[in-house]
Amino acid sequence: MSDLIVKAAVKDALSDQNVSADFYDALDEEVAELLDDAAKRAEANDRKTVQPRDL
């Protein structure tokens, strides 16, 4: 699996919190599932373009 998230951006967004090393892998998996679901919804609606409403 490729990395879908940018660790530095996550660190910036959570600057007031500590972030465990395994958090990034879990977040990456969640994002991958979200993208897969959005792509399936677009396809089910006969579109090749994934749109915000697919989330």
| Contact present, 49 and 42 (Cβ < 8 Å) | yes
DSSP the chain: ----S-HHHHHHHTTTS---HHHHHHHHHHHHHHHHHHHHHHHHTT-SS--GGG-
* Gap between the Cα atoms of 54 and 43, Å rounded: 10
Model pTM? Answer: 0.84
Query: For 2-46, what is each residue's pLDDT tens digit?
Result: 689 999 999 999 999 999 989 999 999 999 999 999 999 999 999
51, pLDDT greater than 60? yes
Side chain identity at 1, as an amino acid letter? M
Decide if pLDDT at 1 tops 80: no
